[in-house]
A and B are shown apart, each in its own frame.
Chain A
Amino acid sequence: MNTSTPQATTQAAAHALTTSTGERAALINQLRVARGQRARQRRIIIAILSLMVLAVAIASLCLGQTNYSPAQVWQVILGHKVPGASFTVGTLRLPRTAIALVAGLSFGLAGVSFQTLLRNPLASPDVIGISTGASAAAAFAIVILSLSGTVVSVFAIVAGLFIATLIYLLSYKGGAAGTRLILVGIGVAAMLESLISWVLTQAGQWDLQEATRWLTGSLNGSTWAETLPALIALGILGPLLLSQTRYLDSLQMGDDTAAALGTRVERTRILVIMAAVGLISFATAATGPIAFVAFLSGPIASRLIGARGSKLIPAALIGALLVLVADFAGQYLLGTRFPVGVITGVLGAPYLVYLIIRTNRAGGSL
């Protein structure tokens, strides 16, 4: 080393140059491997969640006051006549499980979309009054106007969009600010809840089942007629939201950064809000505002996925899992029958309190 000749120096320089290209290739490879690993981990998490959803769905079809084997359930699904099972599984459990699945996926997907868009876990449609608006409209349509089916969904979605616009306008002050929007939303939600209470007092006879459905959400007495509009909405709006994943993720970095990366900020925002409100409203028209499912799914997905990519699909699956498990627990595990919304409400409320305390400690105004 001490006896370096000019020739050796040249060689060293040449060597440095080749290692530099080699280093570049190694770095590219390192980046590729790390990215592949994160993507693979994300896929594994999604696969496990999907299997869990499937398992709980099958369990909710098979188990209950009378238990049936998966084979018997399969026969019923195929349309064969199985004594006893045809009614219990085919008429009672199948629509119930189907709407639990559809509503759970819809709530989870819509919730995480809102939370990502507004960059705040509190900005979930069931916290800021959109679910409550859809629920109030559905209750009004059913109880006061004696409507049913798709018309109810139309009422719910119009109300959902109206409430979303109202909250947006009320909190608009030179650009919609997150915290103001959430506070306005919580206020609007409270007003709408009193509206639901009023509607329920106008019902011909006080029907407790109906009441719990529109206040906290319930799957009791679910039918295919209620499930179908929500299923179609999920089939159209779900893929639409997923197609916006990249733009939605870019909005997390702030509107300016997103725009600099070529995102059409306003268009993405409007598209995502419309689609998410649509999902929430159709599902709510069928089940009522199942408490806190939209609110909880995103943060849970976020814990699982971390920085491994988009949280939309995992959050949708967690929404489905929450509704299925909560409904099953409410029906069979607690001695008395509880509607699904009571169970998810018990799970969600402490988290809401925790979030508010945490933001307070962090010095946030909310």
Chain B
Amino acid sequence: MPPRELAVQDLQVGYGERTIIDGLELAIPSGEITCIVGPNACGKSTLLRSMSRLLRPKTGQVLLDGKDIHRMQPKALAKMLGLLPQNPIAPEGITVADLVGRGRQPHQGLFARWSKDDDAAVAEALEVTNTVELADRPVDELSGGQRQRVWIAMALAQGTETLLLDEPTTFLDVSHQLDVLDLLTDLNRQRGTTVVMVLHDLNLAARYSDHLIALRDGSIRAQGKPEEILTAQVVLEVFGLHCQVIADPSTLKPLILPAGRHHMLEHAGL
């Protein structure tokens, strides 16, 4: 399978009268990890939602392999483009294996029986996300980190080449945040899955993305490799935050050291 091309053309989108994004152009690099960052209410979730058909654009279009996703059959799109929303709800009492199996919906007909492919896809998704030993447990009983792995497993069972995630690390403690991002990186490196996610944490985004998009007021202020675009100037422009940017000694990726009103040394020069 060649990687899918996801692109946004002249996108205008909003809720009711309010326009959030106006005239946005974007091409998501295939086979890479793209992170979208920006301050609250900058339109990052809105952008992700319109790229996955949850929001209908007022004008412009979202193209997958050159085809408008709003003109595609929902089921056909769901086989190519996966999405993990911010707050998915696990049905009461459902087991991990069953929830992951729900990801097979686009591959099954209205009354079609469960196929061998479905079982294989679920098994693989459980293995990749390291949730095999949880398979028979109810999702309600899992910890936040385990639950997020299970949701990612469901999105994987869907078998799409492109995966969009809306803040996959919210509500997780630091070690589980890294855990989830490492897992997504494995997916990208081993299977070539194109990953696009909205992230809150600028430093994690800088470390884990191949391509970084900084959004403010619904338009792209900077995009490119994190080490090329993430400067103190860009952070100030996008987040209104004074900071120092250094190379993370353990990864050499950019590391943001934000300035506050307290605890700052005079020679810091901020």
Contacts and interface: CB of A to CB of B under 8 A. Distances in A.
Interface of A: 24, 27-28, 30-32, 34-35, 38, 119, 174, 243, 246, 249-250, 252-254, 256-257, 259-264, 302, 306-307
B110 A31 contact: no
Interface of B: 15-16, 49, 52-54, 73-79, 82-95, 97-98, 101-103, 105-106, 108, 110-111, 114, 116, 119-120, 122-124, 126-127, 132, 135-136, 138, 155, 158
B122 A31 contact: yes
A119 B89 contact: yes
Given A262-B77, A264-B74, A307 B91 contact: yes
B83 A302 contact: no
A313 B266 CA distance: 72
A256 B73 CA distance: 16
6 contacts: A24-B123, A35-B97, A246-B105, A249-B102, A260-B54, A260-B85
A249 B86 CA distance: 19
A256 B85 contact: yes
A31 B102 contact: no
A306 B91 CA distance: 10
A57 to B, nearest CB: 28
B135 A34 contact: yes
B94 A27 contact: no
B136 A34 contact: yes
A41 to B, nearest CB: 13
Contacts of B158: 260-261
A27 B132 contact: yes
Contacts of A307: 91-95, 98, 138
A256 B110 contact: no
10 nearest A-B residue pairs (beta carbon): A262-B78, A256-B85, A260-B83, A262-B75, A307-B93, A262-B106, A252-B91, A261-B105, A262-B74, A257-B88
A253 B88 contact: yes
Contacts of A243: 110-111
Contacts of B86: 256
Contact of B90 (A32, A253, A302): A253
